[in-house]
Amino acid sequence: MAVASKFSRRFFNNPFPLFSFHFSSSTASSLPPPIRVALTDSVGRAVFATRSIAAADLIHTASPAVCHPSSARPACYACLASLPHSQPLRSPFCSQHCHQRSKGYYDVEMNANWVAFDDYCGTRGLKYPFLVKRLVCMVISGDARSDTLDILQPANFTPEMVSEMEEEFVLLKSAFTKALIGDEHIAFLTKQWYINVLARIRINAFRIELAGGPYEDLLSLAVASVEAEAAVGNAVYVLPSFYNHDCDPNAHIIWIDNAHAKLKALRDIDEGEELRICYIDASLDRDARRELLFRGFGFQCNCHRCLHGD
């Protein structure tokens, strides 16, 4: 972690961190999470430890700003908890609590006809437009602000990529206008807004695979593992989006039962060290990792492993 340490010593001494966070963590301690976000001169913003953290410690938890279940596996509409495979799906919710808390945006979504939009995105294998659709429903219902994701780093789209998004944007917007949602409620939904949100989702979305998915029996476990798609869905978070990537990370993000994320230390971390997670499969060889990071996230990885040819 030479690169991380190089940044960390300098930025830990910066008296003006961009953010410090004070929210609940599931550790027994009443201390705030031991992190802060500060600006670096080579990788934008980054997360730094404000005290030493022991291997396997929970650093903090995070709830998604927006999430959406995958179509391949039944998952709760609100929290992405696995739903039983073996029962006919009666409700898209895992609990009354999830139903209640997402009722506003669920009703907005159910009021519109999604056949054309879902077909268009489904046949092209597009998953991120579904996160935008969810965010639009949340904004209309008053459950989110239209600028919720503005703080996150955006991807650079080429003009060709932008023009390819025209059709999905038109289908999304027309589903709402045909559902007679008043202009005043969807004034924010311009093509520029759509592109800006997708650009942030592209860099910051997490594909969620549950570590502790409840399988009712061996058959449902077999069905789940035979399916190529192990993810229960995708989600975007605010604080976890400030973690930079390292091919030999000192932290990781995990999901046990649902989209509520846990950031955990993979090894002992010093006060002032930068916390980094791995965005991809770290077991790939250097060329494959670099290719994936460049195509998926648009950056040349500056981690110690990559710089030293490992």
d(CA 146, CA 163): 22
Sign of CA dihedral 13, 19, 22, 24: negative
d(CA 14, CA 104): 42
d(CA 259, CA 63): 7
Please give the residues from 246 up to 265 whose contact with ligand SAM meets the rule CB under 6 A: 246
**Residue 57 vs 248, nearer CB to ligand SAM:** 248
**Residue 131 vs 203, nearer CB to ligand SAM:** 203
Residue of the chain from 8, 34, 45, 93 that contacts ligand SAM (CB under 6 A):
45
**Which segment (5-13, 42-50, 72-80, 137-145) binds ligand SAM by CB under 6 A?**
42-50
In the complex, minimum distance from the CB of residue 281 to ligand SAM, in angstroms, rounded to a whole number:
15
d(CA 22, CA 25): 9
Contact track, ligand SAM, 170-199, x by CB under 6 A: ------------------------------
Task: Give the Å distances, CA to CA, from 293 to 8, 143, 236, 247, 257.
Answer: 23, 33, 18, 10, 28
153 binds ligand SAM (CB under 6 A): yes
Amino acid 148 reads T
Residue of the chain from 1, 35, 43, 76 that contacts ligand SAM (CB under 6 A):
43
Residue of the chain from 8, 148, 204, 234 that contacts ligand SAM (CB under 6 A):
204
Task: Give the Å distances, CA to CA, from 264 to 54, 151, 215, 296.
Answer: 10, 23, 25, 24
d(CA 111, CA 133): 13
303 binds ligand SAM (CB under 6 A): yes
157 binds ligand SAM (CB under 6 A): no
Please give the residues from 222 up to 241 whose contact with ligand SAM meets the rule CB under 6 A: 241
| Contact (Cβ atoms closer than 8 angstroms) between residue 52 and residue 270 | yes
In the complex, minimum distance from the CB of residue 134 to ligand SAM, in angstroms, rounded to a whole number:
20
Cβ atoms within 10 Å, residue 12: 18
Residue of the chain from 8, 102, 148, 244 that contacts ligand SAM (CB under 6 A):
244
By CB under 6 A, the count of residues binding ligand SAM is 18
Binding site for ligand SAM (CB under 6 A): 43-46, 153, 203-204, 241-242, 244-246, 297-299, 301-303
